[in-house]
């Protein structure tokens, strides 16, 4: 457990350093580049905070019992960060659509973040009520957003050449890999937890009570058994996810 937590903190320091390197030395230019940089900065900073003070929302699980580990606070920060990341994805597809000369793809690109923004509502419902079924719905909406992105990038790949074509193909493969991961790991995990809760007769919380509970209740644990299932998504989230966010800053603007 301690080794994993140390690795998360090392990732946080590395990721902040990478973002600063792109800020001072990277090929960031134009309105698109500046916007990508700002959105990525929010995502990198929040992921660093959540790496230093990891938590599992519905289980109210924390490594360090401090007010900064509040589930409500962490989920609020994560909501802002994930919306920023979703906007980065939409902006990326829009940029590539401009380079490929596909106006309708540029418009359709903004459907990508809509899936992720909608997912935030289901996520908050699960956090406040402790109902894992809406957490599974949240994951499926992320999968739907990445599926739509893969389709648009595929169209861009067919209608472009050079680095735009290569990046679009890479994006298709990465998007499909993410969808496969979510549908094979995340959704089944949340479904099992939902079924387990029903078998135990778990009573779901009203939203107001859940908000107070998320604000104040924390279950501190350094037991790896309590963390290992969620470490499967937390680790790539705070590594590959952040690297993708930073890499999108370097895509040339239209």
9-57 pLDDT per residue, tens: 999 999 999 999 999 998 877 788 899 999 999 999 999 999 999 999 9
Answer whether residue 254 shows pLDDT above 70: no
Residue 142 and residue 182 in contact, taking contact as beta carbons nearer than 8 Å: yes
User: In the predicted model, what is the mean pLDDT of residues 170-176?
Assistant: 97
Rounded to 10°, the helix 30-52/224-238 angle is 170
Enumerate the β-bridge partners of residue 220.
62
Q: pLDDT digits over 107-147, tens only?
A: 999 999 999 999 999 999 999 999 999 999 999 999 999 99
Is 213 a domain residue?
yes
| Cβ neighbours around 107 below 10 Å, total | 11
In a domain, 192, yes or no: yes
Task: Please give the average per-residue pLDDT across 159-181, as a whole number.
Answer: 95
| CATH number of the CATH domain containing 21 | 1.20.1070
Confidence of residue 173 (pLDDT cuts 50, 70, 90): very high
Residue 39 CA to residue 244 CA, distance in Å, equals 12
CB atoms within 10 A of CB 32: 20
Residue 9 lies in a domain: yes
Considering the entire predicted model, what is its pTM? 0.94
Domain of 85 in residue numbering reads as 2-249
Average pLDDT on 183-197 reads 93
Answer whether residue 237 is part of any domain: yes
Exposed / middle / buried, residue 207 (Cβ in 10 Å: 0-12, 13-18, 19+)? exposed
Q: Is residue 40 part of a domain?
A: yes
Count how many domains the chain has. Answer: 1
Is residue 254 in some structural domain?
Answer: no
Q: Which pLDDT band, with edges at 50, 70 and 90, does 74 fall under?
A: very high
Who wins on pLDDT, 25 or 148?
A: 148
254: three-class secondary structure by DSSP: coil
**Rounded Cα–Cα distance for residues 167 and 154 (Å):** 10
């Amino acid at each position: 457990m301690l080794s994993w937590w140390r690795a998360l903190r090392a990732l946080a320091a590395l990721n902040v350093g990478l973002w600063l390197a792109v800020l001072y030395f990277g090929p960031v230019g134009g309105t698109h580049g500046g916007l990508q940089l700002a959105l990525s900065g929010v995502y990198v900073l929040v992921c660093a905070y959540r790496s230093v003070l990891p938590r599992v929302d519905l289980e109210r699980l924390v490594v360090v019992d401090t007010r900064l580990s509040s589930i409500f606070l962490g989920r609020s920060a994560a909501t802002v960060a994930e919306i920023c990341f979703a906007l980065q994805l939409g902006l990326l597809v829009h940029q590539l659509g401009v380079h490929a000369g596909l106006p309708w793809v540029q418009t359709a690109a903004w459907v990508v973040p809509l899936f992720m923004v909608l997912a935030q509502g289901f996520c908050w419902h699960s956090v406040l009520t402790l109902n894992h079924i809406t957490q599974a719905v949240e994951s499926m909406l992320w999968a739907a957003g990445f599926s739509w992105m893969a389709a648009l990038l595929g169209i861009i790949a067919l209608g472009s050449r050079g680095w735009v074509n290569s990046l679009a193909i890479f994006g298709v493969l990465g998007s499909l890999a993410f969808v496969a991961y979510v549908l094979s790991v995340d959704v089944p995990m949340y479904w099992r937890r939902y079924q387990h809760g029903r078998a135990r007769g778990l009573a779901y919380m009203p939203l107001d009570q859940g908000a107070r509970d998320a604000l104040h209740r924390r279950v501190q644990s350094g037991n790896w058994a309590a963390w290992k299932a969620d470490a499967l998504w937390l680790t790539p989230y705070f590594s590959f996810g952040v690297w993708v966010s930073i890499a999108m800053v370097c895509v040339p603007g239209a």
